Amino acid sequence: MTCFRRSLLTGALAASAALATALMAGPSFAQGAYPNKPVTLIVPAAAGGPTDTVARLIAESMTKTFGQTVVVENVGGAGGTIGMAKVARAAPDGYTIAVWHIAQSTAPALYDGLKYDVVGDFDHLGRITDVPMTLVSKAGLPPKDIAEIVAWMKANQGKATYGHAGIGSASHLCMLILMKELGIKMEGVGYRGTGPAMNDLISGTFDVMCDQTTNTTGHIKDGRIKGYAVTTKSKVSSLPDLPTLDGGTLPGFEVSAWHALWAPKGLPKDVTDKLVAALKVALKDPKVKERFASLGTEPVAETQVSPEALKTYLESEVKRWDAVIKAAGVKASN
Ligand code: ASP
């Protein structure tokens, strides 16, 4: 073999070895396949609360679908605006996503100088569920039914206290509307989420709360708190003894905490498609459906699980709550 032929052969061998190494381990090849590392799912509320419960069920199913861990990170505070600001600033690569709720639509009206645009700074992936809410109190409060708790709140306004997850959170919004309808004022006690608020309601630190069935159902059933009514137009099958507020006390009263999946604006199309597909799988997952049902909710219709449907819905909710919040004259200070 001449020297020339040997160096050609050596060169070819070296080149194919380098190619094989790149094919086996090269990050540039693996990078194409999303997701190739854990995905962070931000919950803009404290651990152990209702949004956290919904998000962890979705994360568990997505983990199975992706073969990569979807890790929940709780970033509570300021009615979810701290967590959603973090999502808006994250790289739009699909490795930071968020499960949040109706508060995404109330934040613009409530927070002057909000650090992000709730529509323009996000990719809207799909709705998840509409969770009914419940009017509840600490177990030691005397009222036994909806008429009695309404009379009690009226008689004790000024000294009665309610818990909420920050200005603009679902629990805050629900109580705000309730107080406006009843023409009363109670003192709010803010938390980073209604997970910790629930612990304090159970220990009797404050009096009443309006919170999602995903946080209240078990505690009502176990007698740790009292449940009086649901905030949806129809009764909730997991809490059959509770009347609707609409049905008697407050005709027309309706508020539920819709949840959705978001990402920072600018995801590559294939990443969006994979996330939406994984969300659809999660919402058909028997474990998710069963758990949702036991907590008084269900997945939204599949037609709602799309970027276009969520964007349209969010825009209409922003308009709807802007009018309600302006009429109530409420503002948060950032
Ligand atoms: N339920 C809370 C709210 O009122 C949020 C949470 O803790 O998940 O918005």
Percent of the chain whose pLDDT exceeds 90: 81
CA 147 to ligand 1 center in whole angstroms? 26
**Can you tell me the mean pLDDT for 216-223?**
97
Contacts of residue 13, Cβ cutoff 8 Å, sequence gap at least 6: none
- Distance in angstroms (rounded) separating the CA atoms of residues 320 and 311: 14
Most ligand 1 atoms within 8 A of CB, residue of 82, 99, 176, 215 to mutate: 215
C-alpha separations of 253 from 175, 232, 256, 257, 295 in Å? 11, 8, 10, 14, 21
CA 98 to ligand 1 center in whole angstroms? 14
For residues 105 and 318, the answer to whether their CB atoms sit within 8 Å is yes
76 CA closest ligand 1 atom index: 7
pLDDT of residue 327: 80
Backbone angles phi and psi of 238, in degrees to 5: -80, -15
**Mean pLDDT for the chain overall:** 90
CA 51 to ligand 1 center in whole angstroms? 6
Given a cut of 90, whether residue 328 has pLDDT beyond it is: no
pLDDT of residue 332: 67
The pTM for the full model equals 0.86
174 CA closest ligand 1 atom index: 4
- Distance in angstroms (rounded) separating the CA atoms of residues 169 and 290: 26
Given a cut of 60, whether residue 77 has pLDDT beyond it is: yes
Most ligand 1 atoms within 8 A of CB, residue of 51, 213, 255 to mutate: 51
pLDDT band at 128 (very low <50, low <70, confident <90, very high): very high
Most ligand 1 atoms within 8 A of CB, residue of 56, 110, 194 to mutate: 194
53 CA closest ligand 1 atom index: 8
Domains, the chain: 39-131+258-328 (3.40.190.150), 132-247 (3.40.190.10)
The better pLDDT of the pair 57, 31 is held by 57
- Distance in angstroms (rounded) separating the CA atoms of residues 299 and 296: 11
Most ligand 1 atoms within 8 A of CB, residue of 175, 211, 321 to mutate: 211
CA 209 to ligand 1 center in whole angstroms? 11
102 CA closest ligand 1 atom index: 9
- Distance in angstroms (rounded) separating the CA atoms of residues 97 and 60: 14
pLDDT band at 180 (very low <50, low <70, confident <90, very high): confident
pLDDT of residue 54: 97
- Distance in angstroms (rounded) separating the CA atoms of residues 225 and 207: 10
pLDDT of residue 175: 93
Given a cut of 60, whether residue 4 has pLDDT beyond it is: no
Percent of the chain whose pLDDT exceeds 70: 89
Q: Which two tokens stand for residue 165?
A: 């997850």
- Distance in angstroms (rounded) separating the CA atoms of residues 275 and 263: 10
- 10 Å Cβ neighbour count for 314? 21
**Can you tell me the mean pLDDT for 86-104?**
98
CA 257 to ligand 1 center in whole angstroms? 9
Q: Which residues line ligand 1 (CB under 6 A)?
A: 45-46, 49-52, 103, 165, 169-171, 193-195, 211-212
CA 3 to ligand 1 center in whole angstroms? 75
**Residues forming a β-bridge with 134:** 211, 230
Q: Which two tokens stand for residue 9?
A: 């052969």
- Distance in angstroms (rounded) separating the CA atoms of residues 287 and 259: 18
CA 196 to ligand 1 center in whole angstroms? 10
- Distance in angstroms (rounded) separating the CA atoms of residues 195 and 44: 12
User: What per-residue string of b and e applies to 257-269 under the rule 16 or more CB within 10 Å gives b?
Assistant: bbbbbbbbbebee
In this predicted model, what pLDDT tens digit does every residue of 41-74 receive, in sequence order?
Answer: 999 999 999 999 999 999 999 999 999 999 999 9
215 CA closest ligand 1 atom index: 1
With helix as H, strand as E and coil as C, how does 224-292 read? CEEEEEECCCCCCCCCCCCCECCCCCCCCCCCEEEEEEEEECCCCHHHHHHHHHHHHHHHHCHHHHHHH
